[in-house]
A and B are shown apart, each in its own frame.
Chain A
């Protein structure tokens, strides 16, 4: 371990490192107890984040998609080019740039804001929400059903099929040589899926075989919660390691020999 110079204070990068190190220590100070340094860093973070997101959304979404398009549209309209103003080429075909067609989403956006501005006209927001929910559902439901339900159901018995050469070929899977461990894995997966589903089946009293399934399902769920907890601990420690690496290597200039 070699201790070099602390990050130079007189360069832009060095100053940035010093500010980041100071704010990191301010946040860590909360671990001892709440204090003004922590409060300062917390409020600064909230303020800077809000400003950053507003700026990002303005420059990446609002300006290119709305303001620029409307400006181009009204400019074309001013020159008397009605077709171009509404994003149509000379043959009347729809162009990629919408120009004044953006007035429709602008209007739908204003309708949503009416909730906060005018109670009398707030009902107009329902049109915007109906459109949004309709389109979003139409796009999301079929693919989510396929990805989350159908392919996952297929996945729960996939291994059994891939251990049989004929089945694997007909299903387009890569045939595998089944070992005892792989068979155990495949059965565990199937039993885990079925028993966890049975645990959430509330239309029959939990008696007999269903009770046994429920019990097994609880154990599988508890194992999955345990795995999630372990991964969460790993995630949090990773973030701590990231900050320590920054403080030791970038700020204090320590190099590991």
Chain B
């Protein structure tokens, strides 16, 4: 077995160990690698920055703890921005595992930003039915959510004054780990004419870029990088910016192992066997 064969049959646990070391290191000791902003995130920032009528933003927290490292920094950065501009934020969830995460964010907003519950922020909780809930919200917010997550009557909340239906929102920002983003675009955006933006997990983000290009959404944050960009634009670097160093080193490890794997395959015995097989097939033709 030559070195190339050894490279292509390396024990996967060495890869895990390398990944653990290179991702842990910058988490413990940040390297301060630069993070640049993209126009998709900048346009969302500008859109929120230019909201003048102080109509509420609907923040759809449609994700659970499994994707919180990617999406919670986005939620916090956007809430920080909105509260600093005096724009109220109303949270809803169409994913059943979201309320726990959302409740933590709401507590953070009260403690860290001094947001007043019911006036600056409100969380209406989770409701099953996805499409039906969005359509119901179009008829009336309190029709879909008669009470908020904490048991208060939705209509009695000061934040709801003049905010009867989804159509009165200045923006719907979907923080999504699933295909619910499509539904917000379809029903809130294209059907009701409410501006929609997305904050997607990195896995889902590539599918959402087409909606940004076609103008169906006003902005897009993709994965932890999107959250880091928004944190920088708001001027309050948080967990996402801290995580970007680890992200970069993690990607370098993956790239190096992909190169090693391919070199091992093409220069090793397996690759030579495949080329021999191909040439034999060519001879038969």
Question: Which of A's residues lie within 8 Å of B, judged by CB?
Answer: 1, 31-32, 52-53, 56-57, 60-61, 96, 139-140, 143-144, 146-148, 151-152, 154-156, 158, 173, 189, 224, 227-228, 231-235, 237-245, 248, 254, 256
Contacts and interface: CB of A to CB of B under 8 A. Distances in A.
Closest 10 CB pairs of A and B: A242-B69, A155-B214, A235-B202, A237-B250, A238-B224, A241-B243, A234-B202, A143-B186, A231-B202, A61-B128
Given A235-B70, A244-B246, 16 more contacts: A1-B29, A56-B97, A56-B126, A60-B125, A96-B143, A147-B182, A238-B223, A238-B224, A239-B66, A239-B67, A239-B69, A240-B23, A240-B250, A241-B224, A242-B243, A245-B242
Contacts of A243: 69
A65 to B, nearest CB: 9
A235 B223 contact: yes
A66 to B, nearest CB: 12
A158 B68 contact: no
B96 A53 contact: yes
B37 interface: no
B201 A235 contact: yes
Contacts, number: 131
A231 B16 contact: no
Interface stretch (B50-58, B203-211, B267-275): B203-211
Nearest to A240: B23
B30 A144 contact: no
B215 interface: yes
B281 interface: no
B127 A31 contact: no
A93 to B, nearest CB: 16
A208 B189 CA distance: 42
* Interface residue range, chain B: 35 or more
B64 to A, nearest CB: 10
B203 A155 contact: no
26 contacts: A1-B28, A31-B16, A60-B96, A60-B127, A139-B135, A143-B187, A147-B185, A147-B189, A151-B190, A151-B216, A152-B210, A155-B214, A155-B215, A173-B215, A228-B206, A233-B251, A234-B225, A237-B247, A238-B70, A238-B223, A238-B224, A238-B243, A241-B27, A241-B243, A244-B23, A245-B27
A61, A139, A189, A242, most chain B CB atoms within 10 A: A242
Interface of B: 13, 16, 19, 23-24, 27-30, 66-70, 96-97, 125-129, 131, 135, 143, 182, 185-187, 189-191, 201-203, 205-206, 210, 213-216, 222-225, 239, 242-243, 246-247, 250-251, 254
A156 B215 CA distance: 11
Nearest to A159: B213
Given A238-B69, A238-B224, A248 B28 contact: yes
Contacts of A235: 70, 201-203, 223
B69 A32 contact: no
A158 B70 CA distance: 31
A115 B30 CA distance: 58
B27 A237 contact: no
A146 B186 CA distance: 8
Nearest to A225: B206
A52 B70 CA distance: 23
A254 B225 CA distance: 24
A144 B27 contact: no
A146 B254 CA distance: 39
Contacts of A231: 202-203, 205-206, 222-223
A227 B206 contact: yes
